[in-house]
Structure 1
């Protein structure tokens, strides 16, 4: 879970799944107000008359999307501001998940929040039923026109649409250096066994380095990258049907099949021979900022880093993101399944939630649910973002990783599942799951104890 999210694409379905797609947090919070100094060309305002004259109106937006992605967000609002006269007051925070409920309880909600977790949304609607405002009809119309039924359902509670999709992301990626692979004769693994073999070979070939590097520190959201690890492995060891049962609590969180998956994750993340290259011992994973954890790839201290497509926004500007081998270059490969034909895919996204029914807020929510906004966002985003909006113009994607993500998510041979922790109740997915996975790594907490503690946190009703 992290935002840029990353969590474009046209959604396709694969059985009960869709082929889609950011959470969590990155750097320090930032409060931005769009000021009209946009890098984009002046908008054609004919397409914006539908939103009305909003001159002098202000709309506050609160999110977990912080710099460098925050500027991409505020730049994407420029045409709306220019053509309607409205001002968007943007605030990104590393403490979003913890602070939004505090603000709701204090009677100081933002006009709009970008919520990365459908489970968190459901918890807010249950806890603050008169505070969370359902989507206005124009927004509902856009959602039903431009998003799949699955995506609409993610933002719905008891059949009522409260939140529309914003961004999308793919999480089943492993970052690496194509040059290092070429230099060492390594090939991209096609199966989980291939990945295990590659890990062992790297460890044997490079005693002064480690195969993997990882970090899960993310402010109040510390632990979320570890939940992604477990979710990805549950899909690979137990399969999508068990994954669905687990996410919906049709089987307990500590089901033996989930224990098997956690043990498989631990065979990498808790193995001193495999981690934490260039960063420290196993426990250092718990204190290493997630957005810096891949850096040792660049100096050969590690070779592999599991992270979503949106991780690309955290590489330094001089790092080349490309598949061809090059100095100071990185790329990502699909985290393989048990076999080449087994293709589970984990992803996520954010959802636009409203706390005011003022006309200007309704207009902005409708804009954010439109292809207009999705395409504008792609124009001002260099990398790490795309949309599940069916009107999205995929030719606007600039990054090869985003192009690869789009390809995977629209390929019906891949079985997509939305981030599990993001769908679970907030007390689990955005609290106990994060904290217990952090203790599992940082304190070497036992596998069974970790799962038992999360199961105990699941709400009784």
Structure 2
């Protein structure tokens, strides 16, 4: 072997060793790449959530935004989706699952710890694509302690109402429609409407139209109050005590989910809650079921670190830590609420009795957005003294539903139920 050839061999060996070293270094670096998480929690709640995640010992990078839908769509289209997304509702997640973008979670949670309607979709032979990591109660009304409401429908001026939102204005109004359908018609009709079951044109049905008209009739009681609701954020003004304790126009009631207590800041200790049914316009006075909502975690990545993070977050220990640090309510049966003025009342309703997931949250995004728009148009027309033309608005939403149903196979297949009957 000539000296020159030996030198060439030495150089090749060194290059191979160097390349191997680079591969090892890169692999080690990849293991340390933070798990990316996209959610809607910002400010204090984002800080509390990050405190929970730090306890897991898994490097992460959390991004909270009110424009989550737009941010996620942009990231997916650019080919750089987050490892984990946490969304308030599963209609949009069903679409991503339909596009084969979500990874199954079947072995990352304990099914027995989650009861209906929280139990993730799927059976042992089916894939599960999301798991609830936060729960909230709706179908309730908040009031100031010492000012308990009467057990009869309340006039518009009694309601502290705002339908604005940074990312999805209109949804607080959909909660009114949903609650009216639920309390007037019961869980069976509500579920069929939410999932567009059967051949019924649900948006043009008597059940939905009469509920919508009852709500519009409430708005017509005071055009000024209707206009104020249209222009007001559901959380109240920045740095305020929330709508309930701002008391615009003498209002004393707020139809809002359990998360509203966080808007009241230090005044939360002066808030009480009751079931909404007796106070709704034409609601019938009887509680047929409670509407509930949640934030659901899903995986866009198969990275082991991302899978492990979801596993820990959905576990009893992770949910208990999240409840303690963030003051949230959990869908996990093993997690008990902290002691407080209304925590046990909320937890009791979340854990027993007929409960139905928020209808707009399970609808396909196009239908949900049309629902939001129809609500905003109803308020705007009433505030302007115009005919709300509810049949026309519902006809337009039905057109969107019909177009969606023609191609929405997975949504109908995976979302079999919305309500628990016990």
Equivalent position to 2:179, from 232, 239, 259? 232
Aligned residues of 1:254 and 1:455 also touching (Cα < 8 A):
yes
Equivalent position to 1:357, from 289, 292, 302? 302
Q: Tell me, in whole angstroms, the C-alpha distance in 1 between the residues paired with 2:376 and 2:286.
A: 33
Structure 2 residue aligned with 1:389: 332
Q: Does 1:285 align with 2:229?
A: yes
Q: Secondary structure at the match of 2:291?
A: strand
Change (3 A) 1:160 1:93: same
Q: Tell me, in whole angstroms, the C-alpha distance in 1 between the residues paired with 2:275 and 2:355.
A: 13
Structure 2 residue aligned with 1:254: 204
Structure 2 residue aligned with 1:107: 79
Q: Does 1:379 align with 2:324?
A: yes
CA offset digits 1:213-263 (Å, max 9, x no partner): 211111231111111111000011222111111111123222121000011
Q: Tell me, in whole angstroms, the C-alpha distance in 1 between the residues paired with 2:166 and 2:300.
A: 25
Q: Tell me, in whole angstroms, the C-alpha distance in 2 between the residues paired with 1:399 and 1:439.
A: 39
Q: Tell me, in whole angstroms, the C-alpha distance in 1 between the residues paired with 2:150 and 2:228.
A: 27
Structure 2 residue aligned with 1:245: 192
Change (3 A) 1:351 1:247: same
Structure 1 alignment gaps of length 5 or more: 1-53, 182-186, 204-209, 274-279, 322-328
Q: TM-score, normalised by structure 1?
A: 0.72
Aligned residues of 2:244 and 2:254 also touching (Cα < 8 A):
no
Q: Does 1:80 align with 2:56?
A: yes
Q: Secondary structure at the match of 1:292?
A: coil
Shift of 1:299: 4.7
Q: TM-score, normalised by structure 2?
A: 0.78
> Where do 1:7-46 residues align within 5 Å?
none
Q: Tell me, in whole angstroms, the C-alpha distance in 1 between the residues paired with 2:103 and 2:334.
A: 26
Q: Tell me, in whole angstroms, the C-alpha distance in 2 between the residues paired with 1:440 and 1:249.
A: 22
Q: Secondary structure at the match of 2:72?
A: helix
Shift of 1:372: 1.0
Structure 1 residue aligned with 2:7: none
Structure 1 residue aligned with 2:217: 267
Q: Does 1:96 align with 2:37?
A: no
Change (3 A) 1:447 1:159: farther
Aligned residues of 1:189 and 1:336 also touching (Cα < 8 A):
no
Q: Tell me, in whole angstroms, the C-alpha distance in 2 between the residues paired with 1:159 and 1:242.
A: 27
Q: Which has the larger radius of gyration?
A: 2
CA offset digits 1:51-97 (Å, max 9, x no partner): xxx9734111101122232122112112102xxxx222111111112
Shift of 1:404: 1.0
Structure 1 residue aligned with 2:255: 306
Structure 1 residue aligned with 2:341: 400
Shift of 1:339: 5.8
Q: Tell me, in whole angstroms, the C-alpha distance in 1 between the residues paired with 2:345 and 2:325.
A: 19
Structure 1 residue aligned with 2:40: 64
Shift of 1:340: 6.2
CA offset digits 1:242-294 (Å, max 9, x no partner): 11111111232221210000111122234207xxxxxx541232221111175
Q: Secondary structure at the match of 2:204?
A: coil
Change (3 A) 1:162 1:216: same
Aligned residues of 1:176 and 1:297 also touching (Cα < 8 A):
no
Change (3 A) 1:297 1:367: same
CA offset digits 1:314-336 (Å, max 9, x no partner): 1133x142xxxxxxx22221112
Structure 2 residue aligned with 1:17: none
Shift of 1:153: 4.0
CA offset digits 1:327-378 (Å, max 9, x no partner): xx22221112556654321111011111110110111011112001100011
Greater share of helix: 2
Structure 1 residue aligned with 2:20: none
Q: Secondary structure at the match of 2:259?
A: helix
Structure 1 residue aligned with 2:169: 222
> Where do 1:413-424 residues align within 5 Å?
415-424=354-363
Q: Secondary structure at the match of 2:86?
A: strand
Shift of 1:167: 0.6
